[in-house]
């Protein structure tokens, strides 16, 4: 390595630090700082989370009676459509990619910002606009055909369906822009010495997700544009009476929306992969297998969309192919889960709220993954698709997976973001109430569906104790909503009573914990050089060139070799 | 570089093997439960397909339960025994192990083998679900906002209300829709297909138990989606024949051989009446592109974009009669042959005369 390394030139450029903007607007509103944009995503996303959660409670109140009269059929249909659309596009995806991705990822790779800060600014500001368009639909007649909006029934939908198209189109473009931005950032802007296999696993997850966002979202944008043109100008893409094909929409929609499931879960995988080693004080088990399985899931994830359409009249041989490819996804996912369980083994585990949510994730997500294999098997899917079983399944994946991941990430990075500690006791209450009520809400849906309750029903047959189990689900969901309040109380508590967090309150080893909390505007005064993977708790920190005042803040680690667990 | 020292003999931790044993016992108990439970879904199985699907469900439930019990069991067990004691010094660390190739091989290989097994069972069932060869009764179910209609061979008019089928008879149901996408689900039979306008999907099953069961729409179809229900009545064969007779049908009458009879001159006026009864559910009197289920038929002879019939033959009255007689199956969907539609050779002549008269105006 006697050649003059490009790192030297990179240093010379990178060490030029721009001054922080001073005006309120440039600092907090139209900021180009990825950290501020990340926090903006989080605030906006959590706001929509509250709204979408309240819509879910309306659904649960309606279903407490088999002939529910709480909402009219129209309103009920609009409410679950808006709940689903908002949770997918305005809550989970923006929080996990825009929120945690923007705040954490550049810090973890030792960058001062993302590659295209202005693109980032534009991408963020499309998000609240899209949210306002979406919720604005309530004023003109909200869309009512479910978050999937299958034509031809969505062609008959109220005028708010046009706003829905526009909102999702906008957030889709924003997602594509963020995807491009993150790919370039991760490929080009890692600190010197941070090879691909030295990247934190959260960065691997963001890289896989960004590839999915960039490629798959364009299919959704095309489909939405066509739906909009058909609704507004009568251009016949989907209406069979005019020669269109309703199944075309399903292919284009699921070509995006199945990868979207991985857009919603891979970053949560990344969060879990950071939290488990930190609090078990162990290297993550099987680093490369976890990293490569993220990529494998992203690749195979493009080829399984047809499993949403087993009842749509696909030829049996196509169903067969989609079934087998879908089952293939279970293998890398299983590898991840087993590796996380093995990471717990022999650890010195500290159960902070973040760790509790990560551990709970392992149980709830595993359950959701297993019911996913049930749905992959065509004959069982022909019975269970379109029922509450599917609703139960995807809430185990998206709530027990993605939202638990979001909660875990919030508890984990909150001190880094704000500089204050949250209450650990309150956080533990939040976890246990959430874990119990989550299972109470979504577990009964599995047998409700199998025994004959279709989804999207405002009223249902009371056979097979359906009313009893719906009441159980509804009551649990009220506890679930109330326990979520504890998170917000905890945030407020941390600003009033929380201790100041040092640079590294958890004794973590990834780069973002090597600088002060909250991080300075420029992140790293001198960009560090990375010598090894970040998870070797038995070794000294693998960074050189950290600014001394910041680097010293890192908790010193034992270098005493490989001690057995202390018991 | 990262150290990858692996201890020669690994202390697996207190109680590892006893806990593994307990999990094994729980797994076996769960497996036995799923194998012996008569109704794994908590729902009666009243058709061959349902019984087979339940077997697949049991297999999935056994595999799923075992994996879940081990994952959740170890998560809970590790969480308890590897907790950091309250008095542990802050720089305590866990076992610095990075990977274990043998373990990783097995936890990749075992699920792969299990999935292959489940896939094979699934594939074996597909034949029973989709292969309609040898089915005795072929009928149609048509969805609309917000209800179902059923059409039977030799029954002149579509039947609204309950769907009747004879027990122990292999049945093919062609499902389609008149407006938006609907779902056709009989929970006790474990089958479901979407009713897609412009497309004919097929479900088949052999009912095995007499009784009345629900039919539900499972695709959101509009404001009264949840009210779009019907019932399937599985009758004894004798009851079914009586019911068909009451609908004005001639159930047992052997249909005419489905060969193209020499076309006799037909009466367009009679054909017009017949068209509205037999054809207009699926065919519009408009241009080709005006599809309901099949193409519009008003311009058979004058459509420059479609100079041939949909089966590629020249547009002649004889070939039109051929399609009506033999049906059609291809890119555009499925049209049942005349014996299922309940039209005889005289009807075919009249219908053909009517269709010819449309274009010659």
pLDDT tens digits, B218-227 = 999 999 999 9
| pLDDT at site B9 | 52
Domain boundaries, chain A: 33-551
Contact A51, A132 (CB under 8 A): no
Residues of A in contact with B56 (CB under 8 A): 377, 379-380
The pLDDT, as a whole number, for residue A194 is: 93
Among residues B282, B321, B289, which one has the least CA distance to residue B306?
Answer: B289
Asked if B125's CB is within 8 angstroms of A371's CB, the reply is no
The answer to whether A71 contacts chain B (CB < 8 Å) is: no
Judge whether B97 and B6 are in contact, CB under 8 Å: yes
Minimal-distance CA residue of chain A relative to B127:
A316
Return the residue of A nearest to B175 by Cα: A313
* Beta pairing partners, A367: none
In B46-105, the residues whose Cβ lies within 8 Å of chain A are: 49, 52-53, 56-57, 60, 63-64, 67-68, 71-72, 74-75, 78-79, 81-85, 88, 90-100, 103-104
Give the per-residue pLDDT at A567: 29
Cis bond leading into A518, ω under 30°?
A: yes
Reply yes or no on whether the pLDDT at B2 is more than 50.
Answer: no
Topology of the domain covering A33-551? Cytochrome C Oxidase; Chain A (1.20.210)
Q: Give every residue of chain A whose pLDDT is below 70, as ranges.
A: 1-17, 547-567
- Beta carbons of B82 and A347 less than 8 Å apart: yes
Q: Average pLDDT for residues B279-306, to the nearest whole number?
A: 81
Given a cut of 90, is residue B205 above it in pLDDT? Answer: yes
A536 neighbourhood in chain B, CB within 8 Å: 2-3, 96
Inspect the interface and report whether the beta carbons of A567 and B81 lie closer than 8 Å: yes
Residue A294 three-state SS: helix
Residue A68: what are its φ and ψ, rounded to 5°?
-50, 130
Is B280 part of the contact surface with chain A (CB cutoff 8 Å)? no
Contact residues, chain B, for A456 at CB < 8 Å:
220, 225-226
Nearest alpha-carbon partner for A276 in A336, A222, A225: A336
Which of A347, A366, A383 is opposite residue B192, by nearest beta carbon? A383
Among candidates A281, A373, A455 on the partner chain, residue whose Cβ is nearest the Cβ of B64: A373
For residue B321 the two structure tokens come to 């009669």
- Confidence class of residue B231 from pLDDT cuts 50, 70 and 90? very high
For the cut 60, the answer to whether the pLDDT of residue B64 exceeds it is yes
Residue A156: list chain B partners with CB under 8 A.
Answer: 180, 222
Note the pLDDT of residue A566. 30
Q: What would the mean pLDDT of B117-146 be, rounded to a whole number?
A: 89
A327 inside 8 A of chain B by CB: yes
pLDDT value at residue B331: 65
Residues of B in contact with A197 (CB under 8 A): none
User: Chain B: nearest CA to A100, how far in angstroms?
Assistant: 26
* Structure tokens belonging to residue A494: 């941390």
Q: What is the pLDDT of residue B263?
A: 63
Inter-chain contact B226–A73, Cβ cutoff 8 Å? yes
B229 to chain A: which residues are within 8 Å by CB? 461
DSSP class of B201: E
ipTM: 0.90
d(C-alpha A165, C-alpha A193), whole Å:
44
**Token pair belonging to B326:** 């033999």
Do the beta carbons of residue A180 and residue A214 sit within 8 Å? yes
Domains observed in chain B: 16-130 (1.10.287), 137-246 (2.60.40.420), 268-360 (1.10.760.10)
Distance CA A543, CA A198 (A): 12
Closest residue of A to B115, CA-based?
A327
The answer to whether B14 faces chain A, any CB pair under 8 Å, is yes
- 3-state DSSP call for residue B215? strand
- Confidence band, pLDDT 50/70/90 cuts, at residue B292: confident
Whether B353 has a pLDDT exceeding 90, the answer reads no
First-residue to last-residue Cα distance in chain B: 88
Q: Chain B within 8 Å of A324 (Cβ-Cβ)? A: yes
- Note the pLDDT of residue A16: 59
Listed by number, the residues of chain A in 221-280 with a beta carbon closer than 8 Å to a beta carbon of chain B are 240-243, 245-247, 280
pLDDT at B255 over 50: no
Is pLDDT at B268 greater than 50 in this prediction? yes
Residues of B in contact with A563 (CB under 8 A): 92-93, 95
For helices A117-140 and A160-188, angle between their N-to-C axes, nearest 10 degrees: 160
Q: Is the Cβ of A346 closer than 8 Å to some Cβ of chain B?
A: yes
Indicate yes or no: pTM above 0.80: yes
Nearest CA in chain B to A565: B94
Tell me the pLDDT of chain B averaged across its residues. 85
Total count of residues recorded for chain B: 361
The whole-angstrom separation of Cα A114 and Cα A107 is 10
B74 to A386: CB separation less than 8 angstroms, yes or no: no
CB contact under 8 A, B98 and A451: no
Query: Mean per-residue pLDDT for B337-350?
Result: 79
How large is the average pLDDT for residues B171-190?
Answer: 93
Residues from chain A that touch B98, judged by Cβ atoms under 8 A, are 283, 285-287
Distance CA A78, CA A71 (A): 10
CA distance A69 to chain B (A): 13
Q: Is A516 on the interface with B (CB under 8 A)?
A: no
> Tokens representing B360?
């010659």
Residue of B11, B181, B193 with shortest CB distance to A153: B181
Structure token digits, residue B153: 């061979």
């Amino acid at each position: 390595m006697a050649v003059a390394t490009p790192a030297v030139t990179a240093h010379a450029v990178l060490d030029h630090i721009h001054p922080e903007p001073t005006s309120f607007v440039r600092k907090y509103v139209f900021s180009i700082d990825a950290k501020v944009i990340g926090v903006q995503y989080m605030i906006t996303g959590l706001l929509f989370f509250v709204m979408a959660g309240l819509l879910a409670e309306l659904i649960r109140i309606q279903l407490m009676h088999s002939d529910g009269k709480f909402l009219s059929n129209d309103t009920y249909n609009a409410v679950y459509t808006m709940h689903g659309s908002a949770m997918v596009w305005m809550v989970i995806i923006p929080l996990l990619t825009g929120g945690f991705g923007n705040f954490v990822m550049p810090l973890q790779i030792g960058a001062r910002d993302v590659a295209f800060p202005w693109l980032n600014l534009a991408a963020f500001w499309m998000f609240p606009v899209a949210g306002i368009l979406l919720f604005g639909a309530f004023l003109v007649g909200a869309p009512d055909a479910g978050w999937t909006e299958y034509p031809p029934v969505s062609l008959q939908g109220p005028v708010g369906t046009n706003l829905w198209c526009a909102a999702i189109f906008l957030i889709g473009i924003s997602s594509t822009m963020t995807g491009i931005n993150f790919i370039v950032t991760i490929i080009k802007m890692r600190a010197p010495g941070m090879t691909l296999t030295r990247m934190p696993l959260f960065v691997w997850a963001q890289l896989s997700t960004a590839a999915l966002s960039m490629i798959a979202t364009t299919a959704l944008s095309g489909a939405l544009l066509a739906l909009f043109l058909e609704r507004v100008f009568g251009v016949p893409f989907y209406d069979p009476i005019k020669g269109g094909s309703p199944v075309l929409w399903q292919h284009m929609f699921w070509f995006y929306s199945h990868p979207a499931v991985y857009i919603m879960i891979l970053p949560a995988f990344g969060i879990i992969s950071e939290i488990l080693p930190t609090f078990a004080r162990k290297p993550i088990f099987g680093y490369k297998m976890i990293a490569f399985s993220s990529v494998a899931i992203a690749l195979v994830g493009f080829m399984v969309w047809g499993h949403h359409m087993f009842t749509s009249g696909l030829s049996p041989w196509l169903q067969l192919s989609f079934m087998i490819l879908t089952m293939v996804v279970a293998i890398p996912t299983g590898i991840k889960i087993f590796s996380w369980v093995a990471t717990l083994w022999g650890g010195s585990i500290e159960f902070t709220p973040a760790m509790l949510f990560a551990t709970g994730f392992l149980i709830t997500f595993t359950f959701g993954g297993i019911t996913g294999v049930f749905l992959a098997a065509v004959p069982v899917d022909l019975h269970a698709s379109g029922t509450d079983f599917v609703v139960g399944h995807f809430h185990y994946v998206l709530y027990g997976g993605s939202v638990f991941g979001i909660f875990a990430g919030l508890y984990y990075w909150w001190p880094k973001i704000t500089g204050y500690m949250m209450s650990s006791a309150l956080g533990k209450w939040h976890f246990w109430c959430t874990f119990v009520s989550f299972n109470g809400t979504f577990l009964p849906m599995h047998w409700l569906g199998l025994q004959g309750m279709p989804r999207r029903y405002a009223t249902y047959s009371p056979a097979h104790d359906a009313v009893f189990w719906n009441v159980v689900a509804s009551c649990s969901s009220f506890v679930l909503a109330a326990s979520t309040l504890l998170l917000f109380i905890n945030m407020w508590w941390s600003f009033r009573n929380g201790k100041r967090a040092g640079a590294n309150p958890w004794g973590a080893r990834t780069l973002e914990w090597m600088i002060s909390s909250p991080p300075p505007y420029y992140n790293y005064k001198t960009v560090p050089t990375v010598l090894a993977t970040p998870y070797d708790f038995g070794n000294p920190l693998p960074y050189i060139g950290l600014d001394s005042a910041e680097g010293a803040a890192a908790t010193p680690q034992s270098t005493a070799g490989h001690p057995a667990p202390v018991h | 570089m990262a150290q990858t020292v692996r201890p020669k003999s690994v202390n697996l931790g207190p109680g590892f093997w006893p806990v593994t044993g307990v999990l094994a016992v729980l797994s076996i108990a769960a497996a036995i439960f799923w194998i012996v439970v008569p109704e794994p879904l908590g729902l009666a199985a009243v058709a061959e397909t349902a019984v087979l699907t339940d077997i697949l469900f049991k297999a999935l439930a056994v595999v799923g339960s075992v994996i879940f019990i081990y994952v959740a069991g170890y998560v809970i067990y590790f969480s308890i025994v590897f907790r950091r004691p309250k008095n542990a010094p802050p720089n305590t660390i866990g076992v610095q192990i990075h990977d274990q190739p043998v373990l990783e091989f097995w936890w990749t290989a075992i699920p792969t083998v299990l999935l292959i097994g489940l896939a094979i069972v699934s594939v074996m069932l597909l034949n029973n679900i989709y292969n309609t060869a040898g089915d005795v009764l072929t009928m149609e179910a048509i969805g609309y906002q917000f209800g179902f209609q059923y059409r039977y061979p030799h029954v002149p008019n579509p039947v609204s209300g309950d769907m009747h089928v004879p027990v122990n008879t292999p049945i093919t149901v062609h499902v389609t829709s008149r407006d938006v996408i609907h779902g056709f689900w009989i929970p006790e039979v474990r089958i479901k297909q979407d009713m897609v306008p412009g497309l004919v999907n097929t479900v088949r099953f052999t009912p095995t138990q007499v009784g009345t069961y629900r039919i539900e729409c499972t695709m959101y179809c509009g404001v009264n989606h949840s009210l779009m229900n019907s019932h399937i009545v599985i009758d004894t064969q004798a009851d079914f024949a009586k019911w068909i007779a009451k609908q004005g049908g001639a159930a047992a009458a052997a249909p005419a051989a489905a060969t193209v009879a020499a076309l006799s001159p037909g009466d367009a006026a009679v054909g017009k009446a017949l068209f509205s009864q037999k054809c207009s559910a699926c065919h519009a009197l408009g241009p080709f592109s005006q599809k309901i289920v099949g193409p519009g038929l008003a311009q058979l002879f004058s459509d420059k974009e479609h100079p041939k019939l949909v089966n590629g033959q020249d547009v002649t009255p004889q070939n039109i009669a051929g399609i009506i007689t033999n049906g059609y199956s291809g890119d555009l969907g499925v049209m049942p042959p005349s014996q299922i539609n309940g039209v005889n050779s005289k009807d075919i002549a009249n219908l053909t005369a009517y269709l010819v008269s449309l274009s010659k105006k």
